[in-house]
Structure 1
Protein backbone atom coordinates (compact mmCIF):
# COMPACT_ATOMS: atom_id res chain seq x y z
CA UNK A 1 0.00 0.00 0.00
CA UNK A 2 1.45 3.40 -0.94
CA UNK A 3 1.87 6.19 1.56
CA UNK A 4 0.08 8.62 -0.81
CA UNK A 5 -3.17 6.65 -0.83
CA UNK A 6 -3.23 6.42 2.96
CA UNK A 7 -2.04 9.91 3.86
CA UNK A 8 -4.91 11.90 2.27
CA UNK A 9 -7.84 10.47 4.27
CA UNK A 10 -5.71 10.61 7.41
CA UNK A 11 -5.84 14.40 7.35
CA UNK A 12 -9.30 14.04 8.85
CA UNK A 13 -7.99 12.35 12.00
CA UNK A 14 -5.35 14.97 12.79
CA UNK A 15 -6.55 16.57 16.04
CA UNK A 16 -6.58 20.29 16.70
CA UNK A 17 -3.94 20.83 19.38
CA UNK A 18 -4.58 23.05 22.36
CA UNK A 19 -1.87 25.47 23.41
CA UNK A 20 -1.68 24.40 27.04
CA UNK A 21 0.76 21.87 28.46
CA UNK A 22 0.94 19.77 31.56
CA UNK A 23 0.65 16.26 32.88
CA UNK A 24 -1.69 13.33 32.27
CA UNK A 25 -1.87 10.82 35.13
CA UNK A 26 -3.35 7.35 34.62
CA UNK A 27 -4.42 4.70 37.13
CA UNK A 28 -4.88 1.17 35.71
CA UNK A 29 -7.22 -1.25 37.50
CA UNK A 30 -8.01 -4.64 35.93
CA UNK A 31 -10.57 -5.72 38.54
CA UNK A 32 -12.60 -2.95 40.17
CA UNK A 33 -14.33 -5.26 42.67
CA UNK A 34 -10.98 -6.43 44.01
CA UNK A 35 -9.35 -3.00 43.51
CA UNK A 36 -6.62 -4.85 41.61
CA UNK A 37 -4.13 -2.28 40.31
CA UNK A 38 -1.93 -3.34 37.39
CA UNK A 39 1.77 -2.70 37.94
CA UNK A 40 4.67 -2.89 35.48
CA UNK A 41 2.33 -2.20 32.51
CA UNK A 42 3.34 0.04 29.61
CA UNK A 43 0.92 2.90 28.97
CA UNK A 44 1.29 4.91 25.76
CA UNK A 45 0.23 8.51 25.22
CA UNK A 46 -0.45 9.05 21.51
CA UNK A 47 -1.30 12.43 19.89
CA UNK A 48 -3.69 10.89 17.34
CA UNK A 49 -6.30 8.13 17.22
CA UNK A 50 -4.29 5.06 16.29
CA UNK A 51 -7.46 2.96 15.90
CA UNK A 52 -8.72 5.35 13.22
CA UNK A 53 -5.41 5.00 11.42
CA UNK A 54 -5.70 1.21 11.60
CA UNK A 55 -9.22 1.40 10.16
CA UNK A 56 -8.02 3.44 7.19
CA UNK A 57 -5.19 1.01 6.48
CA UNK A 58 -7.49 -2.01 6.75
CA UNK A 59 -10.04 -0.36 4.46
CA UNK A 60 -7.40 0.29 1.79
CA UNK A 61 -5.62 -3.07 2.00
CA UNK A 62 -5.02 -4.85 -1.29
CA UNK A 63 -6.96 -7.89 -0.05
CA UNK A 64 -9.82 -8.16 2.47
CA UNK A 65 -9.00 -8.86 6.08
CA UNK A 66 -9.19 -12.63 6.76
CA UNK A 67 -12.36 -13.84 8.45
CA UNK A 68 -12.44 -16.44 11.19
CA UNK A 69 -14.81 -19.40 10.65
CA UNK A 70 -17.94 -19.05 12.78
CA UNK A 71 -17.62 -22.57 14.19
CA UNK A 72 -14.07 -21.85 15.33
CA UNK A 73 -15.20 -18.66 17.09
CA UNK A 74 -17.97 -20.65 18.78
CA UNK A 75 -15.46 -23.28 19.87
CA UNK A 76 -13.24 -20.52 21.26
CA UNK A 77 -16.16 -19.10 23.26
CA UNK A 78 -16.90 -22.55 24.66
CA UNK A 79 -13.24 -22.93 25.53
CA UNK A 80 -13.40 -19.63 27.46
CA UNK A 81 -16.45 -20.91 29.37
CA UNK A 82 -14.52 -24.04 30.31
CA UNK A 83 -11.55 -21.89 31.37
CA UNK A 84 -13.85 -19.78 33.58
CA UNK A 85 -15.32 -22.92 35.14
CA UNK A 86 -11.84 -24.21 35.92
CA UNK A 87 -10.77 -20.81 37.31
CA UNK A 88 -13.81 -20.70 39.62
CA UNK A 89 -13.16 -24.23 40.87
CA UNK A 90 -9.47 -23.39 41.41
CA UNK A 91 -10.40 -20.31 43.43
CA UNK A 92 -12.85 -22.24 45.64
CA UNK A 93 -10.24 -24.93 46.28
CA UNK A 94 -7.61 -22.33 47.22
CA UNK A 95 -10.02 -20.60 49.60
CA UNK A 96 -10.65 -23.85 51.47
CA UNK A 97 -6.94 -24.58 51.65
CA UNK A 98 -6.35 -21.09 53.10
CA UNK A 99 -8.95 -21.80 55.79
CA UNK A 100 -7.28 -25.12 56.59
CA UNK A 101 -3.90 -23.41 56.96
CA UNK A 102 -5.43 -20.82 59.27
CA UNK A 103 -7.00 -23.49 61.49
CA UNK A 104 -3.72 -25.42 61.60
CA UNK A 105 -1.93 -22.32 62.85
CA UNK A 106 -4.56 -21.86 65.57
CA UNK A 107 -4.40 -25.50 66.64
CA UNK A 108 -0.64 -25.23 67.10
CA UNK A 109 -1.24 -22.65 69.83
CA UNK A 110 -4.02 -24.49 71.70
CA UNK A 111 -4.10 -27.19 74.35
CA UNK A 112 -5.32 -30.32 72.59
CA UNK A 113 -7.52 -31.05 75.62
CA UNK A 114 -9.45 -27.77 75.31
CA UNK A 115 -12.98 -27.35 73.97
CA UNK A 116 -11.76 -24.81 71.41
CA UNK A 117 -9.16 -27.26 70.12
CA UNK A 118 -11.83 -29.95 69.61
CA UNK A 119 -14.14 -27.49 67.85
CA UNK A 120 -11.44 -26.37 65.44
CA UNK A 121 -10.23 -29.94 64.94
CA UNK A 122 -13.73 -31.01 63.86
CA UNK A 123 -14.00 -27.96 61.61
CA UNK A 124 -10.68 -28.89 60.01
CA UNK A 125 -12.00 -32.39 59.31
CA UNK A 126 -15.08 -30.98 57.56
CA UNK A 127 -12.88 -28.71 55.47
CA UNK A 128 -10.59 -31.59 54.62
CA UNK A 129 -13.52 -33.47 53.09
CA UNK A 130 -14.56 -30.31 51.23
CA UNK A 131 -11.01 -29.77 49.96
CA UNK A 132 -10.90 -33.29 48.53
CA UNK A 133 -14.19 -32.81 46.67
CA UNK A 134 -13.14 -29.41 45.31
CA UNK A 135 -9.78 -30.79 44.24
CA UNK A 136 -11.52 -33.44 42.15
CA UNK A 137 -13.84 -30.81 40.67
CA UNK A 138 -11.03 -28.45 39.71
CA UNK A 139 -9.02 -31.26 38.15
CA UNK A 140 -12.02 -32.42 36.12
CA UNK A 141 -12.68 -28.82 34.99
CA UNK A 142 -9.04 -28.39 33.99
CA UNK A 143 -9.02 -31.67 32.05
CA UNK A 144 -12.19 -30.62 30.20
CA UNK A 145 -10.73 -27.22 29.33
CA UNK A 146 -7.34 -28.64 28.35
CA UNK A 147 -8.89 -31.27 26.08
CA UNK A 148 -10.96 -28.70 24.19
CA UNK A 149 -8.03 -26.29 23.95
CA UNK A 150 -5.82 -28.96 22.42
CA UNK A 151 -8.58 -29.92 19.98
CA UNK A 152 -8.88 -26.30 18.78
CA UNK A 153 -5.20 -25.36 18.81
CA UNK A 154 -4.21 -26.62 15.37
CA UNK A 155 -7.01 -24.69 13.64
CA UNK A 156 -6.27 -21.60 15.73
CA UNK A 157 -2.58 -21.77 14.82
CA UNK A 158 -3.46 -22.10 11.12
CA UNK A 159 -5.78 -19.08 11.02
CA UNK A 160 -3.29 -17.04 13.07
CA UNK A 161 -0.63 -17.68 10.43
CA UNK A 162 -3.04 -16.38 7.77
CA UNK A 163 -3.90 -13.29 9.85
CA UNK A 164 -0.26 -12.54 10.65
CA UNK A 165 0.69 -12.81 6.98
CA UNK A 166 -2.13 -10.47 5.93
CA UNK A 167 -1.28 -7.90 8.62
CA UNK A 168 2.40 -7.99 7.65
CA UNK A 169 1.47 -7.04 4.09
CA UNK A 170 -1.32 -4.56 4.95
CA UNK A 171 0.70 -2.66 7.56
CA UNK A 172 4.05 -2.74 5.79
CA UNK A 173 4.25 1.06 5.64
CA UNK A 174 2.75 1.79 9.04
CA UNK A 175 5.95 3.11 10.61
CA UNK A 176 6.44 5.70 7.85
CA UNK A 177 2.79 6.78 8.06
CA UNK A 178 3.01 7.25 11.82
CA UNK A 179 6.24 9.23 11.46
CA UNK A 180 4.53 11.57 8.95
CA UNK A 181 1.60 12.09 11.33
CA UNK A 182 3.85 12.85 14.28
CA UNK A 183 5.87 15.30 12.18
CA UNK A 184 2.67 17.06 11.07
CA UNK A 185 1.56 17.33 14.70
CA UNK A 186 4.94 18.32 16.07
CA UNK A 187 4.52 15.66 18.74
CA UNK A 188 5.82 12.23 19.67
CA UNK A 189 4.44 9.05 21.20
CA UNK A 190 5.26 8.93 24.91
CA UNK A 191 5.17 5.97 27.27
CA UNK A 192 5.44 5.22 30.94
CA UNK A 193 5.28 2.04 33.04
CA UNK A 194 2.80 1.75 35.90
CA UNK A 195 4.26 1.68 39.39
CA UNK A 196 3.26 -0.62 42.26
CA UNK A 197 0.02 1.36 42.66
CA UNK A 198 -0.88 1.03 38.98
CA UNK A 199 -0.07 4.68 38.23
CA UNK A 200 1.67 6.03 35.11
CA UNK A 201 1.99 9.55 33.77
CA UNK A 202 3.35 11.69 30.97
CA UNK A 203 4.07 15.35 30.45
CA UNK A 204 1.68 15.92 27.55
CA UNK A 205 1.62 19.34 25.90
CA UNK A 206 -1.46 20.33 23.97
CA UNK A 207 -4.19 17.84 23.27
CA UNK A 208 -6.14 15.77 22.63
CA UNK A 209 -4.22 12.60 23.46
CA UNK A 210 -5.21 8.95 23.24
CA UNK A 211 -4.16 6.81 26.20
CA UNK A 212 -3.42 3.27 25.06
CA UNK A 213 -2.80 0.13 27.13
CA UNK A 214 -3.68 -3.53 27.07
CA UNK A 215 -3.60 -6.28 29.67
CA UNK A 216 -4.55 -9.95 29.60
CA UNK A 217 -7.06 -11.17 32.17
CA UNK A 218 -8.85 -14.47 32.74
CA UNK A 219 -11.85 -13.07 30.85
CA UNK A 220 -9.79 -11.93 27.85
CA UNK A 221 -7.70 -8.93 26.84
CA UNK A 222 -8.65 -5.48 28.16
CA UNK A 223 -7.83 -2.95 25.44
CA UNK A 224 -7.86 0.79 26.14
CA UNK A 225 -7.76 3.60 23.61
CA UNK A 226 -9.20 6.49 25.63
CA UNK A 227 -9.15 10.10 24.42
CA UNK A 228 -8.36 12.88 26.87
CA UNK A 229 -8.58 16.55 25.93
CA UNK A 230 -5.24 17.35 27.50
CA UNK A 231 -3.54 17.79 30.82
CA UNK A 232 -5.84 17.69 33.84
CA UNK A 233 -5.59 17.58 37.59
CA UNK A 234 -7.95 14.59 37.55
CA UNK A 235 -6.48 11.10 37.22
CA UNK A 236 -7.74 9.06 34.28
CA UNK A 237 -8.82 5.64 35.49
CA UNK A 238 -8.39 2.78 33.03
CA UNK A 239 -10.88 0.18 34.26
CA UNK A 240 -12.82 -2.66 32.61
CA UNK A 241 -15.77 -0.30 32.16
CA UNK A 242 -13.93 1.93 29.65
CA UNK A 243 -11.96 -0.88 28.00
CA UNK A 244 -12.81 -3.07 25.03
CA UNK A 245 -12.85 -6.71 26.11
CA UNK A 246 -11.23 -8.75 23.35
CA UNK A 247 -11.99 -12.44 23.31
CA UNK A 248 -12.00 -15.24 20.80
CA UNK A 249 -9.50 -16.41 18.23
CA UNK A 250 -8.01 -13.01 17.32
CA UNK A 251 -7.13 -12.35 20.93
CA UNK A 252 -4.99 -15.51 20.85
CA UNK A 253 -3.10 -14.61 17.67
Structure 2
Protein backbone atom coordinates (compact mmCIF):
# COMPACT_ATOMS: atom_id res chain seq x y z
CA UNK A 1 0.00 0.00 0.00
CA UNK A 2 1.39 3.39 -0.92
CA UNK A 3 2.16 5.72 1.94
CA UNK A 4 -0.44 8.42 2.49
CA UNK A 5 1.04 11.91 2.55
CA UNK A 6 -0.99 14.56 4.33
CA UNK A 7 0.09 18.17 4.73
CA UNK A 8 0.01 18.33 8.55
CA UNK A 9 0.56 21.71 10.22
CA UNK A 10 3.18 20.36 12.63
CA UNK A 11 3.25 23.38 14.91
CA UNK A 12 -0.44 22.81 15.66
CA UNK A 13 -0.01 19.28 16.94
CA UNK A 14 3.69 18.85 17.84
CA UNK A 15 4.50 20.10 21.35
CA UNK A 16 7.85 21.49 22.43
CA UNK A 17 10.01 18.92 24.18
CA UNK A 18 11.08 19.35 27.79
CA UNK A 19 13.83 17.54 29.62
CA UNK A 20 12.20 16.77 32.95
CA UNK A 21 10.50 13.46 33.64
CA UNK A 22 7.59 12.50 35.86
CA UNK A 23 4.46 10.38 35.83
CA UNK A 24 0.92 10.99 34.66
CA UNK A 25 -1.74 9.34 36.83
CA UNK A 26 -5.44 9.37 35.95
CA UNK A 27 -8.62 8.03 37.50
CA UNK A 28 -11.61 7.29 35.27
CA UNK A 29 -15.12 7.57 36.70
CA UNK A 30 -18.49 7.57 34.98
CA UNK A 31 -19.98 10.11 37.41
CA UNK A 32 -18.95 13.50 38.77
CA UNK A 33 -18.90 12.26 42.38
CA UNK A 34 -16.21 9.71 41.43
CA UNK A 35 -18.21 6.81 42.88
CA UNK A 36 -18.60 4.81 39.64
CA UNK A 37 -14.98 3.99 38.87
CA UNK A 38 -14.24 2.33 35.52
CA UNK A 39 -11.84 -0.60 35.75
CA UNK A 40 -10.15 -2.70 33.06
CA UNK A 41 -10.18 0.24 30.63
CA UNK A 42 -7.30 1.11 28.32
CA UNK A 43 -6.05 4.70 28.64
CA UNK A 44 -3.67 6.15 26.06
CA UNK A 45 -1.08 8.87 26.67
CA UNK A 46 -0.19 10.65 23.43
CA UNK A 47 2.42 13.36 22.79
CA UNK A 48 0.18 15.01 20.17
CA UNK A 49 -3.43 16.10 19.78
CA UNK A 50 -5.19 13.22 18.03
CA UNK A 51 -8.34 15.29 17.43
CA UNK A 52 -6.39 17.98 15.55
CA UNK A 53 -4.70 15.29 13.49
CA UNK A 54 -8.04 13.65 12.69
CA UNK A 55 -9.52 17.02 11.69
CA UNK A 56 -6.65 17.67 9.30
CA UNK A 57 -6.97 14.24 7.68
CA UNK A 58 -10.72 14.67 7.30
CA UNK A 59 -10.31 18.13 5.75
CA UNK A 60 -7.82 16.77 3.20
CA UNK A 61 -9.70 13.56 2.36
CA UNK A 62 -10.38 12.86 -1.32
CA UNK A 63 -14.13 12.99 -0.73
CA UNK A 64 -16.19 14.86 1.89
CA UNK A 65 -17.13 13.10 5.10
CA UNK A 66 -20.60 11.52 4.76
CA UNK A 67 -23.40 13.55 6.30
CA UNK A 68 -26.03 11.93 8.52
CA UNK A 69 -29.59 12.92 7.55
CA UNK A 70 -31.02 15.30 10.14
CA UNK A 71 -34.21 13.30 10.57
CA UNK A 72 -32.25 10.10 11.20
CA UNK A 73 -30.06 11.83 13.79
CA UNK A 74 -33.16 13.15 15.54
CA UNK A 75 -34.78 9.71 15.46
CA UNK A 76 -31.64 8.15 16.94
CA UNK A 77 -31.62 10.64 19.80
CA UNK A 78 -35.31 9.99 20.42
CA UNK A 79 -34.57 6.27 20.49
CA UNK A 80 -31.92 6.91 23.16
CA UNK A 81 -34.44 8.83 25.26
CA UNK A 82 -36.93 5.97 24.94
CA UNK A 83 -34.24 3.47 25.90
CA UNK A 84 -33.46 5.53 29.01
CA UNK A 85 -37.16 5.70 29.90
CA UNK A 86 -37.48 1.93 29.57
CA UNK A 87 -34.31 1.39 31.64
CA UNK A 88 -35.64 3.64 34.41
CA UNK A 89 -38.98 1.84 34.44
CA UNK A 90 -37.23 -1.53 34.51
CA UNK A 91 -35.10 -0.44 37.46
CA UNK A 92 -38.12 0.80 39.43
CA UNK A 93 -39.96 -2.46 38.79
CA UNK A 94 -36.97 -4.54 39.91
CA UNK A 95 -36.60 -2.48 43.09
CA UNK A 96 -40.21 -3.18 44.06
CA UNK A 97 -39.78 -6.88 43.33
CA UNK A 98 -36.68 -6.94 45.54
CA UNK A 99 -38.70 -5.36 48.37
CA UNK A 100 -41.42 -7.96 47.90
CA UNK A 101 -38.91 -10.81 48.09
CA UNK A 102 -37.42 -9.32 51.25
CA UNK A 103 -40.84 -9.09 52.90
CA UNK A 104 -41.67 -12.66 51.88
CA UNK A 105 -38.50 -13.91 53.57
CA UNK A 106 -39.36 -12.03 56.75
CA UNK A 107 -42.95 -13.30 56.74
CA UNK A 108 -41.74 -16.89 56.52
CA UNK A 109 -40.02 -16.44 59.88
CA UNK A 110 -42.86 -14.71 61.73
CA UNK A 111 -45.93 -15.88 63.60
CA UNK A 112 -48.91 -15.09 61.35
CA UNK A 113 -50.84 -13.97 64.45
CA UNK A 114 -48.31 -11.28 65.35
CA UNK A 115 -48.75 -7.56 64.75
CA UNK A 116 -45.50 -7.36 62.75
CA UNK A 117 -46.74 -10.11 60.45
CA UNK A 118 -50.02 -8.29 59.74
CA UNK A 119 -48.22 -5.01 59.06
CA UNK A 120 -45.76 -6.66 56.70
CA UNK A 121 -48.57 -8.57 55.00
CA UNK A 122 -50.45 -5.31 54.34
CA UNK A 123 -47.23 -3.73 53.07
CA UNK A 124 -46.78 -6.66 50.71
CA UNK A 125 -50.27 -6.12 49.34
CA UNK A 126 -49.53 -2.46 48.64
CA UNK A 127 -46.34 -3.44 46.87
CA UNK A 128 -48.21 -5.98 44.76
CA UNK A 129 -50.40 -3.20 43.40
CA UNK A 130 -47.33 -1.06 42.79
CA UNK A 131 -45.51 -3.93 41.05
CA UNK A 132 -48.40 -4.52 38.65
CA UNK A 133 -48.58 -0.83 37.74
CA UNK A 134 -44.82 -0.59 37.21
CA UNK A 135 -44.85 -3.77 35.15
CA UNK A 136 -47.40 -2.21 32.79
CA UNK A 137 -45.30 0.96 32.58
CA UNK A 138 -42.05 -0.86 31.81
CA UNK A 139 -43.71 -3.00 29.15
CA UNK A 140 -45.25 0.07 27.51
CA UNK A 141 -41.86 1.83 27.63
CA UNK A 142 -40.13 -1.17 26.06
CA UNK A 143 -42.74 -1.44 23.31
CA UNK A 144 -42.30 2.24 22.44
CA UNK A 145 -38.52 1.93 22.39
CA UNK A 146 -38.60 -1.30 20.39
CA UNK A 147 -40.92 0.18 17.79
CA UNK A 148 -38.66 3.20 17.31
CA UNK A 149 -35.55 1.01 17.12
CA UNK A 150 -37.05 -1.25 14.48
CA UNK A 151 -38.13 1.73 12.40
CA UNK A 152 -34.62 3.26 12.35
CA UNK A 153 -32.22 0.32 12.54
CA UNK A 154 -32.09 -0.41 8.82
CA UNK A 155 -31.31 3.22 7.95
CA UNK A 156 -28.70 3.40 10.71
CA UNK A 157 -27.03 0.22 9.47
CA UNK A 158 -26.94 1.60 5.92
CA UNK A 159 -25.35 4.94 6.86
CA UNK A 160 -22.86 3.16 9.14
CA UNK A 161 -21.67 1.08 6.18
CA UNK A 162 -21.12 4.29 4.20
CA UNK A 163 -19.27 5.95 7.10
CA UNK A 164 -17.07 2.89 7.73
CA UNK A 165 -16.15 2.69 4.03
CA UNK A 166 -15.26 6.39 3.91
CA UNK A 167 -13.17 6.22 7.10
CA UNK A 168 -11.30 3.19 5.81
CA UNK A 169 -10.23 5.16 2.74
CA UNK A 170 -9.64 8.52 4.45
CA UNK A 171 -7.53 7.06 7.28
CA UNK A 172 -5.75 4.37 5.27
CA UNK A 173 -2.35 5.93 5.97
CA UNK A 174 -2.94 7.01 9.55
CA UNK A 175 -0.37 4.60 10.94
CA UNK A 176 2.37 6.06 8.72
CA UNK A 177 1.43 9.63 9.68
CA UNK A 178 1.51 8.79 13.39
CA UNK A 179 4.89 7.10 12.98
CA UNK A 180 6.28 10.24 11.33
CA UNK A 181 4.98 12.41 14.16
CA UNK A 182 6.42 10.19 16.85
CA UNK A 183 9.76 10.08 15.08
CA UNK A 184 9.78 13.90 14.90
CA UNK A 185 9.03 14.06 18.61
CA UNK A 186 11.36 11.33 19.73
CA UNK A 187 8.48 9.99 21.81
CA UNK A 188 6.00 7.15 21.76
CA UNK A 189 2.35 6.53 22.53
CA UNK A 190 1.96 4.88 25.92
CA UNK A 191 -0.98 2.97 27.35
CA UNK A 192 -2.11 1.49 30.63
CA UNK A 193 -5.21 -0.33 31.89
CA UNK A 194 -7.20 1.01 34.84
CA UNK A 195 -7.13 -1.03 38.02
CA UNK A 196 -9.98 -1.79 40.42
CA UNK A 197 -9.92 1.85 41.57
CA UNK A 198 -10.16 3.17 38.02
CA UNK A 199 -6.53 4.33 38.12
CA UNK A 200 -3.97 4.13 35.30
CA UNK A 201 -0.69 5.88 34.66
CA UNK A 202 2.46 6.20 32.59
CA UNK A 203 5.95 7.60 33.00
CA UNK A 204 6.18 10.79 30.95
CA UNK A 205 8.77 13.41 30.08
CA UNK A 206 7.87 17.08 29.67
CA UNK A 207 4.68 17.98 27.92
CA UNK A 208 2.13 18.60 26.80
CA UNK A 209 0.46 15.19 26.74
CA UNK A 210 -3.05 14.22 25.69
CA UNK A 211 -4.90 11.58 27.71
CA UNK A 212 -7.40 9.62 25.65
CA UNK A 213 -10.00 6.99 26.46
CA UNK A 214 -13.72 6.39 26.04
CA UNK A 215 -16.54 4.72 27.97
CA UNK A 216 -20.03 3.72 26.87
CA UNK A 217 -22.73 4.77 29.32
CA UNK A 218 -26.52 4.76 29.31
CA UNK A 219 -26.44 8.44 28.27
CA UNK A 220 -24.00 7.86 25.40
CA UNK A 221 -20.26 7.55 24.89
CA UNK A 222 -17.96 9.57 27.15
CA UNK A 223 -14.95 10.57 25.04
CA UNK A 224 -11.83 12.06 26.64
CA UNK A 225 -8.95 13.79 24.89
CA UNK A 226 -7.60 15.92 27.72
CA UNK A 227 -4.37 17.89 27.46
CA UNK A 228 -1.90 18.06 30.33
CA UNK A 229 0.71 20.82 30.06
CA UNK A 230 3.31 18.67 31.76
CA UNK A 231 3.48 15.59 33.91
CA UNK A 232 2.76 16.33 37.58
CA UNK A 233 2.17 14.42 40.79
CA UNK A 234 -1.51 15.39 40.77
CA UNK A 235 -4.04 12.80 39.64
CA UNK A 236 -6.10 13.80 36.61
CA UNK A 237 -9.77 12.95 37.17
CA UNK A 238 -11.54 11.87 34.01
CA UNK A 239 -15.21 12.56 34.76
CA UNK A 240 -18.23 13.40 32.58
CA UNK A 241 -17.54 17.09 33.15
CA UNK A 242 -14.28 17.03 31.15
CA UNK A 243 -15.48 14.50 28.57
CA UNK A 244 -17.33 14.96 25.30
CA UNK A 245 -20.69 13.16 25.37
CA UNK A 246 -21.22 11.49 22.01
CA UNK A 247 -24.73 10.47 21.11
CA UNK A 248 -26.75 9.69 18.02
CA UNK A 249 -25.95 7.73 14.90
CA UNK A 250 -22.16 8.03 14.98
CA UNK A 251 -22.04 6.65 18.49
CA UNK A 252 -23.86 3.56 17.20
CA UNK A 253 -21.61 2.98 14.21
> How do 1:54-69 residues align onto structure 2 when only pairs under 5 Å count?
54-69=54-69
Q: Which residue of structure 2 aligns with residue 97 of structure 1?
A: 97
Partner SS for 1:103: helix
How far apart in 2 are the matches of 1:131 and 1:18?
Answer: 63
Q: Which residue of structure 1 aligns with residue 86 of structure 2?
A: 86
8 Å Cα contact 1:21/1:230 also seen in 2: no
- Structure 1's 230 and 109: CA in aligned 2 closer, same or farther, altered over 3 A? farther
Partner SS for 1:192: strand
Partner SS for 1:6: coil
- The question of 1:159 aligning with 2:159 is answered yes
How far apart in 1 are the matches of 2:144 and 2:33?
Answer: 28
How far apart in 2 are the matches of 1:18 and 1:144?
Answer: 56
The Cα of 1:45 is off from its aligned counterpart by 0.7
The Cα of 1:111 is off from its aligned counterpart by 2.4
The Cα of 1:3 is off from its aligned counterpart by 4.2
Q: Which residue of structure 1 aligns with residue 131 of structure 2?
A: 131
How far apart in 1 are the matches of 2:225 and 2:213?
Answer: 7
The Cα of 1:34 is off from its aligned counterpart by 7.5
When structure 1 is superposed on structure 2, of 98-107 and 178-187 the one drifting more is 98-107
8 Å Cα contact 1:20/1:206 also seen in 2: yes
How far apart in 1 are the matches of 2:107 and 2:228?
Answer: 55
How far apart in 2 are the matches of 1:87 and 1:51?
Answer: 33
8 Å Cα contact 1:18/1:208 also seen in 2: no
The Cα of 1:192 is off from its aligned counterpart by 1.0
Report the count of equivalent residues: 252
Partner SS for 1:211: strand
Partner SS for 2:92: helix
When structure 1 is superposed on structure 2, of 135-144 and 103-112 the one drifting more is 103-112
- The question of 1:196 aligning with 2:196 is answered yes
When structure 1 is superposed on structure 2, of 147-156 and 225-234 the one drifting more is 225-234
Partner SS for 2:30: strand
Superposition TM-score, scaled by structure 2 size: 0.95
8 Å Cα contact 2:5/2:177 also seen in 1: no
Partner SS for 1:37: coil
How far apart in 1 are the matches of 2:192 and 2:114?
Answer: 57
Q: Runs (4+) of structure 1 moved beyond 6 Å? A: none
> How do 1:160-175 residues align onto structure 2 when only pairs under 5 Å count?
160-175=160-175
Q: Which residue of structure 2 aligns with residue 179 of structure 1?
A: 179
The unaligned stretches of length 5 or more in structure 2 are none
- The question of 1:6 aligning with 2:7 is answered yes
- The question of 1:150 aligning with 2:158 is answered no
Q: Which residue of structure 2 aligns with residue 32 of structure 1?
A: 32
Q: CA RMSD in A?
A: 1.6
